[in-house]
Structure 1
Amino acid sequence: MQSILQYRRFGNLAEEQLATNPEKGIGSRNRNFRNIKDFSANGNGLKASVAGDEVSVVSSQDTLPNPDRPRETQRADKPPTNPSADPLNSSVTNEGGEDDTSDVSRVIIVGFEPENDPMNPRDWSFGKRLMVTIVVSFMGVIVGWSSSIDSGIIPQYAEEFGVSEVVASLPTGLFLVGFGTGAVMSGPFSETVGRNPIYIITLIVFMLLLVGAGLAQNLAGQLVSRTLAGIFAATPLACAGGTIADVWTPEEQVFAFPIYAIISFSGPVLGPVVGGWVGQSNLSWRWTEWVTLIGAGVILVIVIFFQPETYSPILLKWKATHLRRVTEDDRYRAEIELRQTSLPARLLLAMYRPVIMLIREPTVFLFSLYLTVAYIIIFTFFTGYEFIYEGIYGLTQGETALCFLGLAIGLLLCIPLIPLNAKLRSRDITRTKETDPVGKAPPESRLYWAMIGAPALPISIFWMAWTARPDIPFWSPLAASVLTGFGMLCIFITCYQYLIDTYGTYAASALSSLTLMRYLVSGAMIEVSIPFYKNMGVPYTLTILGCISAVLVPIPSIMLFPTFAVAAVFAGGTVALPTGDDAPFLKVVSSTEAIVGNSIWNATVGSSVVKPIYYQGKEIVGDAKGQYYSYVDQTESFNFSNATIVDSDDDFIDVQFTTSEGEQHWVIYRNQHGAYQYFINKDLPSPLGEWRSVSRLDNATFTNSHTTYRQGALPELSEIDSGEKVQDETWKLSDGSYITKYDWSDFINSAKAWGVYGDGIGCWYIHPSKEYINGDHLKQELMLHRESSTGDTVLLNMIHGLHFLTGEEHEFAAGRVWGPWLWYLNNGSVEDANAKYDEEVQSWPYSFPNADIAAGHHQRASSVSGFITLSDGRAASGASVMLGDNESDQVPAEQGANYYYRTTADSDGNFSFENVRAATYALYAWAGNNSDIGDVSTNLTAKGIEISESTSAINLGEYTWDTQNRTKIWQIGTLDRLACGFKNGCSGYHHGLSDESPADLEYTVNSSETSDWSYVQTAEGTWQVKFELSDGPASDAVAILSTSLAGYSSGVNIEITAQGGNVTVGELSDLTNDPSVYRSSTFCGLHRYEEFEVPAGTFVKGSNTIEFTVTKTSQWHGFMWDSILLEWS
Structure 2
Amino acid sequence: MINGLVEVTLSSPDGEVIGIKYNGIDNVLETDNAQDNRGYWDVVWYKPGEKDNIDKLEGTNFHVIMADKDQVEISFTKKWNYSRHVPLNVDKRYIMRRGVSGFYAYAILEREPGWPDVDMDQIRAVFKLQKDRFHYMAISDKRQRIMPMPEDRETGQPLAYPEAVLLTKPINTELKGEVDDKYQYSSENKDNKVQGWISANPPVGFWMITPSNEFLSSGPTKQDLTSHVGPTVLSMFTSIHYGGKDIDTKYRNGEPWKKVLGPVLVYLNQVSSTNNIYGDLWRDAKAQMWKEVESWPYDFLQSQDFPKSYQRGNISGQLQVFDRCINSRTTGAKYAYVGLAAPGQVGSWQTETKGYQFWTQTDEQGNFFLKNVREGDYDLYAWVPGFIGDYKHYTNIAVKAGSEFNLGAIVYRPPRNGPTLWEIGVPDRSAAEFFVPDPYPTLMNRLYKNDPANKFRQYGLWARYADIYGNNDLKYTIGISDHTRDWFFAHVTRDIGNRTYQPTTRQIMFELLNVNSRGDYTLQVAMAAASESEFQLRINDANVDKPDFSTGPMGRDNAIARHGIHGLYRFYSINIPSSKLYKGSNTFYLTQSRSQTPFQGILYDYIRLEGPPNPQTSSSQNVVA
TM-score between the two structures when normalised by the length of structure 2: 0.77
> Which whole-Å CA distance do the structure 1 matches of 2:56 and 2:312 have between them?
38
Asked if 1:714 corresponds to 2:147, the answer is yes
> After superposition, what is the alpha-carbon deviation per residue over 1:610-634, rounded to whole angstroms, capped at 9, x for unaligned?
1122112311112132100001144
Give 2:406's aligned amino acid: N
Q: Please, which of 24, 30, 33 is the counterpart of residue 617 of structure 1?
A: 24
> Which whole-Å CA distance do the structure 2 matches of 1:910 and 1:801 have between them?
32
Q: CA deviation at 1:695?
A: 0.4
Match in the other structure for 2:602: 1119
1:458-473 correspondence runs (5 A): none
1:994-1009 correspondence runs (5 A): 994-997=462-465, 998-999=468-469, 1000-1009=473-482
> Which whole-Å CA distance do the structure 2 matches of 1:989 and 1:885 have between them?
32
Q: CA deviation at 1:820?
A: 1.4
Q: CA deviation at 1:859?
A: 5.5
SS at match of 2:217: coil
SS at match of 1:1033: coil
Match in the other structure for 1:309: none
Match in the other structure for 1:662: 90
Asked if 1:600 corresponds to 2:600, the answer is no
Match in the other structure for 1:870: 321
Give 2:538's aligned amino acid: T
Asked if 1:799 corresponds to 2:237, the answer is yes
> Which whole-Å CA distance do the structure 2 matches of 1:1054 and 1:854 have between them?
45
> After superposition, what is the alpha-carbon deviation per residue over 1:1051-1101, rounded to whole angstroms, capped at 9, x for unaligned?
x444322325267432344103112111121x2111122232222122233
Q: CA deviation at 1:679?
A: 0.8
Asked if 1:895 corresponds to 2:352, the answer is yes
Q: CA deviation at 1:1112?
A: 3.5
> Which whole-Å CA distance do the structure 1 matches of 2:110 and 2:387 have between them?
45
Q: Please, which of 525, 542, 567 is the counterpart of residue 1061 of structure 1?
A: 542
> Which whole-Å CA distance do the structure 1 matches of 2:237 and 2:355 have between them?
12
Q: CA deviation at 1:941?
A: 4.1
Q: Please, which of 173, 192, 195 is the counterpart of residue 754 of structure 1?
A: 195
Structure 2, unpaired ranges of 5+: 46-52, 80-88, 169-175, 271-277, 324-328, 437-452, 495-503, 613-625
> After superposition, what is the alpha-carbon deviation per residue over 1:280-307, rounded to whole angstroms, capped at 9, x for unaligned?
xxxxxxxxxxxxxxxxxxxxxxxxxxxx
The structure number with the bigger radius of gyration is: 1
Give 1:945's aligned amino acid: I
SS at match of 1:832: helix
Contact persistence 1:1056–1:1065 (CA under 8 A): yes
Match in the other structure for 2:459: 991
SS at match of 1:1084: coil
Identify if the C-alpha distance between structure 1 residues 776 and 986 changes in structure 2 by more than 3 Å, giving closer, same or farther. Answer: farther
Give 2:124's aligned amino acid: R
1:239-250 correspondence runs (5 A): none
Give 1:1034's aligned amino acid: N
Match in the other structure for 1:912: 369
Match in the other structure for 1:923: 380
Q: CA deviation at 1:914?
A: 1.6
> Which whole-Å CA distance do the structure 1 matches of 2:345 and 2:548 have between them?
32
Contact persistence 1:744–1:782 (CA under 8 A): yes
Bigger shift: 989-998 or 609-618? 989-998
SS at match of 1:1097: helix
> Which whole-Å CA distance do the structure 1 matches of 2:315 and 2:464 have between them?
45
> Which whole-Å CA distance do the structure 1 matches of 2:460 and 2:427 have between them?
25
> Which whole-Å CA distance do the structure 1 matches of 2:346 and 2:483 have between them?
34
Q: Please, which of 106, 130, 137 is the counterpart of residue 705 of structure 1?
A: 137
SS at match of 2:294: helix
1:979-1058 correspondence runs (5 A): 979-984=431-436, 987=455, 989-997=457-465, 998-999=468-469, 1000-1012=473-485, 1013-1020=487-494, 1021-1029=504-512, 1031-1050=513-532, 1052-1058=533-539
Contact persistence 2:534–2:554 (CA under 8 A): no
Contact persistence 2:211–2:292 (CA under 8 A): yes
Match in the other structure for 2:42: 630
Q: CA deviation at 1:1032?
A: 0.4
Match in the other structure for 1:823: 266
Q: CA deviation at 1:728?
A: 2.7
Taking every aligned residue pair, what percent have the same amino acid on both sides? Answer: 26
Give 2:460's aligned amino acid: G
1:477-492 correspondence runs (5 A): none
Q: Please, which of 866, 885, 888 is the counterpart of residue 342 of structure 2?
A: 885
Q: CA deviation at 1:977?
A: 1.3
> Which whole-Å CA distance do the structure 1 matches of 2:433 and 2:311 have between them?
39
Asked if 1:1084 corresponds to 2:545, the answer is no
Contact persistence 2:65–2:74 (CA under 8 A): yes
Q: CA deviation at 1:691?
A: 0.4
Contact persistence 1:940–1:962 (CA under 8 A): no
Q: CA deviation at 1:599?
A: 1.6
SS at match of 2:100: coil
1:763-778 correspondence runs (5 A): 763-778=206-221
Identify if the C-alpha distance between structure 1 residues 782 and 893 changes in structure 2 by more than 3 Å, giving closer, same or farther. Answer: same
Q: Please, which of 32, 37, 62 is the counterpart of residue 643 of structure 1?
A: 62
Contact persistence 2:423–2:609 (CA under 8 A): yes
- Structure having the higher strand fraction is 2
- Structure having the higher helix fraction is 1
> Which whole-Å CA distance do the structure 2 matches of 1:1108 and 1:727 have between them?
27
SS at match of 1:834: helix
> Which whole-Å CA distance do the structure 2 matches of 1:600 and 1:717 have between them?
30
Contact persistence 2:477–2:510 (CA under 8 A): yes
> Which whole-Å CA distance do the structure 2 matches of 1:1068 and 1:753 have between them?
39
Identify if the C-alpha distance between structure 1 residues 643 and 888 changes in structure 2 by more than 3 Å, giving closer, same or farther. Answer: farther
Q: Please, which of 586, 605, 615 is the counterpart of residue 1104 of structure 1?
A: 586
Match in the other structure for 2:249: 809
Contact persistence 1:992–1:1116 (CA under 8 A): no
Give 2:383's aligned amino acid: W
Q: CA deviation at 1:890?
A: 7.5
Higher relative contact order (Cα pairs below 8 Å, separated by 6+ residues): 2
Contact persistence 1:707–1:745 (CA under 8 A): no
Q: Please, which of 110, 113, 120 is the counterpart of residue 688 of structure 1?
A: 120
Contact persistence 2:379–2:392 (CA under 8 A): no
> After superposition, what is the alpha-carbon deviation per residue over 1:834-869, rounded to whole angstroms, capped at 9, x for unaligned?
11111111111110323x532534564453101223
> Which whole-Å CA distance do the structure 2 matches of 1:833 and 1:874 have between them?
42
Contact persistence 2:334–2:363 (CA under 8 A): yes
> After superposition, what is the alpha-carbon deviation per residue over 1:913-957, rounded to whole angstroms, capped at 9, x for unaligned?
1211121100111223xxxxx243353343411111117x43122
Give 1:874's aligned amino acid: T
> Which whole-Å CA distance do the structure 2 matches of 1:832 and 1:798 have between them?
23
Give 2:165's aligned amino acid: W
Identify if the C-alpha distance between structure 1 residues 907 and 755 changes in structure 2 by more than 3 Å, giving closer, same or farther. Answer: same
> Which whole-Å CA distance do the structure 2 matches of 1:677 and 1:609 have between them?
11
Match in the other structure for 1:520: none
Give 1:611's aligned amino acid: I
SS at match of 1:856: coil
SS at match of 1:658: strand
SS at match of 2:582: coil
Bigger shift: 605-614 or 644-653? 644-653
Give 2:607's aligned amino acid: I
> After superposition, what is the alpha-carbon deviation per residue over 1:15-43, rounded to whole angstroms, capped at 9, x for unaligned?
xxxxxxxxxxxxxxxxxxxxxxxxxxxxx
> After superposition, what is the alpha-carbon deviation per residue over 1:389-429, rounded to whole angstroms, capped at 9, x for unaligned?
xxxxxxxxxxxxxxxxxxxxxxxxxxxxxxxxxxxxxxxxx
Contact persistence 1:1065–1:1093 (CA under 8 A): no
SS at match of 1:839: helix
Root mean square deviation of aligned Cα? 2.6
> Which whole-Å CA distance do the structure 2 matches of 1:1117 and 1:979 have between them?
16
Identify if the C-alpha distance between structure 1 residues 1066 and 687 changes in structure 2 by more than 3 Å, giving closer, same or farther. Answer: same
Contact persistence 2:432–2:456 (CA under 8 A): no
